[in-house]
């Protein structure tokens, strides 16, 4: 987790960085498993030649958006005998995918998005281009074997979720601890003493603490956290994998902040920070030094709080007596972010400027665009030759969506100081305009054209990140509780439509945005998990090695809270509150 973003800050040290990258263990990936971000695409379904604007001197093209698969394995190889994570009922080298994250980095708009895939999601496992069996997604590494475990997980995600994966990063327990220790630990803050006897978490005092490698691993692995309040240990949250996923994401931000404090952005960053990251990860054989350098330049001023974080909506289920999770249909809204297609026409306002001159047409542009769902206004202007879409960089996705309907593919004009109303995209129709397409062009084809018109990245110093567009839905009914004033971190959670979701956040530094999509599926803490009846008696492969923990069942009777009100709110973020310096 730390390497994927932290190493980007170290790219300024070219010599040390190049040596470190060259020393990293690589996995040979079969052809066709990883997506090629530079694969040739037709700008106009083969009807015209693609134009490329000239890049300014001293700049480099921003490059395509990339999806990284971040895999944290539970391999215990290298751990000390007294490390709680080393105590397992299987061989240390036999590993499952304990953490699965998708990280989308878009250097053109300086935007980073992150989502965790719960390890108990039940899906067909793909290997060699074929589905081989249905299992919890964590078992993909076992199905693929030692050499092809990560590629098998890539295939499984690509085929089940239709998300292209361009590169992957693999880190095990030992590597995680080593990176955290190299950072000198990561500062955390707890409102009261906390523990988890399963993961080994044990913080006997509330307030500030410094999590070293072992303690940090116990925190991010914690699934059954307890807090000592009013003289007794009480359950913290509902003890499910979604809470654990959010803690892992928040720890990523904490580690990034720590790395920045340790000088990871500086050109005089210590070699040991670079070498520690390189010595503890495994990469695919396609990730190049050039790619990392380009990302490093684009994100050199990226702030951890600007990371867009998402949570997948899931449904409890049972297969052969084993508790599993299935994705709710609304999960597609989250996955669209990682496909580049999160926007719908109904969310985009278009200002049409008709500069074609006198045109005899039965259906005006406002009606055609309105048919697709766009909100449209229109005016006329003097004749121009080329059809152009004008938008701010923050409205890049809206501009690409509109461009998918235009024939021929338009040129684009992006800037920060265009005379446009907030959230509006302008379509200036020129003499070359032919038609609005009945079947829209692919995202990849239009994105390839539009990206060429984005401002380049300064070779010496990257541009400042642009503001982010947060997903919103006015119909959702959401209550957010916080003990202090939130800052700018945004977690977007897609949940069923018409639901009333109460999200309690102990961290004063996080704002939660919830989208309602369908009817609620998540059960309260003390209800029994609803399962689907099944005649199967099979045990999933992952359960043979790591039995699943039901997301709503208490571990021991004596710890069971009396009424619901005795459950403590989940700790999803362990960063210090505003005004507290740890």
Give, to the nearest 10 degrees, the angle between helix 14-23 and helix 289-298. 130
Region 224-236: mean pLDDT is 94
Q: Give the range among 166-175, 228-237, 335-344, 523-532 with minimum mean pLDDT.
A: 523-532
Burial class (CB in 10 A: 0-12, 13-18, 19+), 419: exposed
- pLDDT higher than 50, residue 342: yes
pLDDT-derived band at 155 (thresholds 50, 70, 90) equals: very high
Cα–Cα distance list, 379 to 362, 385, 410, 428 (Å): 17, 17, 19, 10
Which residues does 31 contact at the CB level (< 8 Å), separation at least 6? Answer: none
**Structure confidence at residue 266 (pLDDT):** 54
**Structure confidence at residue 357 (pLDDT):** 93
Q: Is the distance from CB of 406 to CB of 433 less than 8 angstroms?
A: yes
Report how far residue 578's alpha carbon sits from residue 505's, in angstroms, rounded to the nearest whole number: 14
CA dihedral over 23, 29, 35, 36, signed as positive or negative: positive
- pLDDT higher than 60, residue 528: no
Give the CA radius of gyration of the chain. Answer: 25
**Structure confidence at residue 386 (pLDDT):** 96
Q: pTM value? A: 0.78
Query: Between 80 and 348, whose confidence is greater?
Result: 348
Q: Which residue has the tokens 């919103």?
A: 472
Region 325-354: mean pLDDT is 96
- pLDDT higher than 90, residue 35: yes
Of the candidates 82, 269, 75, the residue with the CA atom closest to the CA atom of residue 183: 269
Q: What is the pLDDT of residues 484-502, one digit of tens each?
A: 333 444 444 444 444 333 3
Q: Give the range among 55-69, 171-185, 412-426, 456-470 with minimum mean pLDDT.
A: 456-470
Is the bond preceding 408 in cis, omega lying within 30 degrees of 0? yes
**Structure confidence at residue 89 (pLDDT):** 60
How many residues are there in the chain?
582
Query: Between 58 and 322, whose confidence is greater?
Result: 322
Report how far residue 344's alpha carbon sits from residue 306's, in angstroms, rounded to the nearest whole number: 23
pLDDT-derived band at 55 (thresholds 50, 70, 90) equals: low
Q: Which residue has the tokens 């999590």?
A: 211
**Structure confidence at residue 541 (pLDDT):** 62
% pLDDT > 90, the chain: 53
Specify the pairing of strand 349-354 against strand 424-429. Answer: parallel
**Structure confidence at residue 264 (pLDDT):** 62
Region 524-551: mean pLDDT is 45
pLDDT-derived band at 104 (thresholds 50, 70, 90) equals: very high
CA dihedral over 204, 209, 212, 215, signed as positive or negative: positive
Region 528-532: mean pLDDT is 37
Report how far residue 410's alpha carbon sits from residue 432's, in angstroms, rounded to the nearest whole number: 9
Architecture of domain 345-458: 2-Layer Sandwich (3.30)
% pLDDT > 70, the chain: 71
Question: φ and ψ at 297, to 5 degrees?
Answer: -65, -45
DSSP 121: B
- pLDDT higher than 50, residue 416: yes
- pLDDT higher than 60, residue 302: yes
Q: Which residue has the tokens 């009606």?
A: 367
- pLDDT higher than 50, residue 534: no
pLDDT-derived band at 582 (thresholds 50, 70, 90) equals: confident
């Amino acid at each position: 987790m730390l390497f994927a973003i932290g190493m980007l800050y170290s790219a300024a040290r070219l010599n040390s960085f190049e040596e470190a990258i060259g020393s990293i263990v690589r996995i040979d990936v079969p052809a066709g498993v990883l997506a090629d971000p530079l694969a040739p695409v037709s700008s106009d379904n083969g009807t015209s030649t693609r134009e490329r604007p000239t890049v300014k001197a001293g700049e480099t093209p921003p490059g395509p958006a990339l999806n990284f698969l971040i895999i944290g394995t539970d391999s215990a190889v290298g751990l000390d005998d007294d490390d709680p994570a080393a105590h397992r009922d299987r061989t240390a080298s036999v590993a499952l995918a304990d953490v699965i994250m998708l990280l989308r980095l878009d250097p053109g708009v300086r935007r980073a998005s992150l989502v965790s895939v719960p390890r108990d999601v039940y899906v067909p496992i793909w290997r060699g281009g074929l589905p081989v069996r249905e299992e919890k997604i964590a078992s993909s590494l076992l199905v693929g074997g030692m050499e092809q475990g990560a590629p098998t997980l890539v295939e499984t995600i690509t085929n089940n979720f239709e998300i292209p994966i361009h590169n992957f990063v693999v880190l095990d327990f030992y590597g995680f601890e080593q990176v955290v220790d190299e950072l000198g630990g990561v500062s955390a803050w707890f409102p009261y003493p906390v523990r988890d006897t399963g993961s080994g978490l044990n913080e006997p005092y509330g307030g500030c603490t410094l999590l070293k490698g072992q303690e940090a691993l116990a925190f991010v692995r914690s699934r059954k956290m307890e807090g000592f309040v009013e003289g007794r240990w009480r359950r913290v949250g509902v003890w499910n994998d979604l809470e654990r996923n959010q803690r892992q994401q928040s720890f990523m931000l904490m580690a990034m902040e720590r790395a920045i404090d340790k000088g990871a952005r500086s050109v005089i960053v210590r070699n040991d920070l670079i070498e520690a990251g390189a010595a503890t990860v495994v990469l695919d054989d396609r990730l190049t030094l050039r790619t990392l350098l380009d990302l490093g330049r684009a994100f050199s001023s990226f702030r951890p709080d600007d990371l867009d974080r998402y949570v997948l909506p899931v449904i409890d289920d049972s297969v052969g007596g084993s508790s599993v999770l299935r994705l709710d249909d609304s999960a597609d809204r989250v996955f669209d972010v990682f496909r580049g297609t999160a926007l719908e026409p109904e969310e985009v306002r278009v200002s049409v400027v008709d500069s074609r001159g006198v045109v005899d047409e039965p259906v005006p542009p406002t009606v055609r665009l309105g048919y697709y769902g766009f909100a449209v206004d229109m005016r006329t202007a003097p004749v121009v030759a080329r059809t152009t879409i004008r938008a701010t960089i923050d409205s890049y996705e809206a501009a690409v969506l509109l461009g998918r309907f235009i024939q021929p593919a338009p040129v684009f004009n992006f800037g920060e100081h265009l005379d446009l109303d907030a959230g509006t995209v302008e379509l200036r129709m020129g003499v070359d305009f032919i038609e609005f397409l009945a079947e829209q062009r692919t995202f990849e084809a239009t994105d390839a054209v539009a990206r060429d018109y984005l401002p380049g990245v300064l070779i010496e110093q990257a541009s400042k990140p642009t503001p982010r567009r947060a997903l919103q839905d006015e119909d959702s009914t959401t209550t957010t509780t916080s003990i202090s004033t939130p800052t700018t971190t945004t977690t977007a959670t897609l949940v069923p439509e018409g639901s009333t979701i109460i999200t309690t956040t102990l961290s004063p530094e996080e704002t939660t945005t919830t989208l309602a999509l369908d009817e609620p599926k998540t059960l309260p803490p003390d209800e029994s998990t609803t399962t689907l009846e099944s005649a199967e008696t099979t045990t999933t492969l992952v359960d043979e090695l790591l039995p699943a923990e039901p997301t709503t069942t208490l571990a021991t009777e004596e710890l069971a809270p009396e009424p619901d009100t005795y459950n403590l709110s989940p700790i999803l973020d362990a960063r210090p509150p505003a005004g507290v310096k740890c």
